[in-house]
Amino acid sequence: MLSGTVLNGTVLSLPFLPASLYCDEAMHHWDAHSYATHYWHPVAATSDLHPGEVLEVSLLDQSLLLTWPADAQPRAFRNRCPHRGVAFRAESSSGKPCRRLVCPYHGWTYNLRGELQAAARESEFEEGFDRKRWGMLELACRIDGPLIWIAFSDQALPLENQLQLIHAEASDSWNAAGQQLRVSQQNLACNWKIAHDNTLDDYHVAIAHPTTLHREQGPVRDYVHRFSQYNNLLETPHSDGGRFLTFGLPPWSHLLVWPDGRLAFLEFLPNQPDHCTMRLRLFAAADGRDAASADTWLQQLLTFLEEDRALVESAQRGYSEDFQPGPPHRLEQRILHWQGLYRERLRADGISRFERSQDAISAFRR
Ligand code: FES
Ligand SMILES: [Fe+2]
């Protein structure tokens, strides 16, 4: 465990991450190509895909295929033909019935398990051609709650650890929310870490969202924080009764749970050093809500997220101006908890130059 990192509710004593981590092209590449591989990623709702269907999705600029072979579990593959790398299908927003995948280039044909079934003029390859050697490249794939998850690496954290506090504190709602009601996606002009920090920030809500999120979360004096190794949680009493839960999850995600079982899953995916993609998914139990109330709910959430946009885009401009973040407040401890995880990954990959450069800046300013 890192010095200064104390879990189970105690405030962490590390400073905020240095601003250089939020602006640098090389760090953006590391976030998308190394940090990301240590975690699972939700790529579709379970309601998007059914047995016998195929769904194309993209994650971090990579095209993926989800398939659901009959009498089996969903599977995930890179959407690249093993022959010469052509994609099998174009992206669509929901699963399509499909018995076999046929590459449009030379016609190699696969079943939904990713096994090569036929190749054109197969007897004419130069060397003995073994279909078994040319299966589609598969990724780990799991269902958990209302989402289908994939991992780029078999070194990824166990999904049970990544979602530990959700399973412990909200398993009934998580497992019952089988219907995805809405998906909203938009770009923010900030590094994903600015947006992630902001959504872990319980210090700003009363000030920046007085008539929106603050009304859901209630008085600051009632805030209760919980931590597992990889997750954090803000628990507040809701005005409708019961608990309103706001989970922070690696790598860049959040889950909001209402007392009536509704869920909002929010992600900030890196797409450039100073831009990210915000994706919001709304879920309810399968017996569901009508379309009008789902639209109202989505609009309420987008209103508070739009309040955040001005702040996070302004903070990004500040971080890009040779800026050093100030002291963390007690109500920013969920940010520090996540940043501790991020630091551990940096150090595991031997990246320490940013910490050193920040030390140098601090020494200069003293
Ligand atoms: S690239 Fe797919 S069959 Fe040749
Ligand atoms: Fe906010």
Which residues place a Cβ less than 5 A from the ion ligand 2? 308
Euclidean distance between the first and final Cα of the chain, in Å? Answer: 29
Q: How far does the centroid of ligand 1 lie from the alpha carbon of residue 134, in Å? A: 11
Reference 210, options 218, 198, 221; nearest CA is: 218
Q: What integer pLDDT is reported at residue 126 of this predicted model? A: 80
Least confident of 3-7, 197-201, 335-339: 3-7
Task: Report the DSSP pairing between strands 116-118 and 109-110.
Answer: antiparallel
**Residue 118: helix, strand or coil by DSSP?**
strand
Tokens of 206: 């009363």
Query: Could you say which ligand is closest to the alpha carbon of residue 208?
Result: 2
One-letter amino acid of 65: L
- Ligand 1 atom 4, closest CA: 106
What is the Cα–Cα distance from 279 to 226, expressed in whole angstroms?
25
Q: What integer pLDDT is reported at residue 11 of this predicted model? A: 46
Q: What integer pLDDT is reported at residue 240 of this predicted model? A: 87
Query: Could you say which ligand is closest to the alpha carbon of residue 108?
Result: 1
Q: How far does the centroid of ligand 2 lie from the alpha carbon of residue 203, in Å? A: 9
Reference 251, options 152, 177, 322, 133; nearest CA is: 152
- Ligand 1 atom 3, closest CA: 106
Q: How far does the centroid of ligand 1 lie from the alpha carbon of residue 364, in Å? A: 58
Reference 154, options 236, 76, 269, 246; nearest CA is: 76
pLDDT score of 366 more than 50: no
Q: How far does the centroid of ligand 1 lie from the alpha carbon of residue 235, in Å? A: 52
Q: 19-38+159-348 has which CATH code?
A: 3.90.380.10
Please report, rounded to a whole number, the percentage of residues in the chain having pLDDT higher than 90.
83
- For residues 139-147, give the mean pLDDT: 98
Q: How far does the centroid of ligand 2 lie from the alpha carbon of residue 209, in Å? A: 7
- Ligand 1 atom 1, closest CA: 84
Mutation choice for ligand 1 from 106, 117, 131, CB with most ligand atoms inside 8 A: 106
Q: Which atom of ligand 1 is nearest to the CA of 108?
A: 3
What is the Cα–Cα distance from 192 to 304, expressed in whole angstroms?
18
pLDDT score of 21 more than 60: yes
Q: Which of 81-90, 159-168, 348-357 has the highest mean pLDDT?
A: 159-168
Query: Could you say which ligand is closest to the alpha carbon of residue 80?
Result: 1
Q: Confirm if 126 and 119 have CB atoms less than 8 A apart.
A: no
What is the Cα–Cα distance from 314 to 298, expressed in whole angstroms?
24
pTM of the model: 0.92
Q: How far does the centroid of ligand 1 lie from the alpha carbon of residue 14, in Å? A: 52
Q: What integer pLDDT is reported at residue 4 of this predicted model? A: 36
The correct CATH number of 41-144 out of 3.40.50.920, 2.130.10.10, 2.102.10.10, 1.10.630.10 is 2.102.10.10
Q: What integer pLDDT is reported at residue 355 of this predicted model? A: 58
Tell me the C-alpha to C-alpha distance, in Å, between residue 80 and each of 56, 64, 201, 361: 11, 8, 40, 46
Q: What integer pLDDT is reported at residue 352 of this predicted model? A: 73
Q: Summarize pLDDT for 80-106 with one digit per residue, the tens.
A: 999 999 999 766 778 899 999 999 999
User: Structural domain boundaries of the chain?
Assistant: 19-38+159-348, 41-144
- For residues 149-165, give the mean pLDDT: 97
Q: How many CB atoms lie within 10 A of CB 157?
A: 18
Residue 360: pLDDT band by 50, 70, 90 thresholds? Answer: very low
Q: Which atom of ligand 1 is nearest to the CA of 120?
A: 3
Cis before 251 (ω within 30):
yes
Q: How far does the centroid of ligand 1 lie from the alpha carbon of residue 11, in Å? A: 55
Mutation choice for ligand 1 from 103, 109, 122, 134, CB with most ligand atoms inside 8 A: 103
pLDDT score of 363 more than 80: no
Q: Summarize pLDDT for 304-328 with one digit per residue, the tens.
A: 999 999 999 999 999 999 889 999 9
List residues near ligand 1 (CB under 6 A).
Answer: 81, 83-84, 86, 103, 105-108
pLDDT score of 10 more than 80: no
What is the Cα–Cα distance from 26 to 10, expressed in whole angstroms?
33
Q: Which atom of ligand 1 is nearest to the CA of 104?
A: 2
Task: Look up tokens 């890196």; give the residue.
Answer: 270
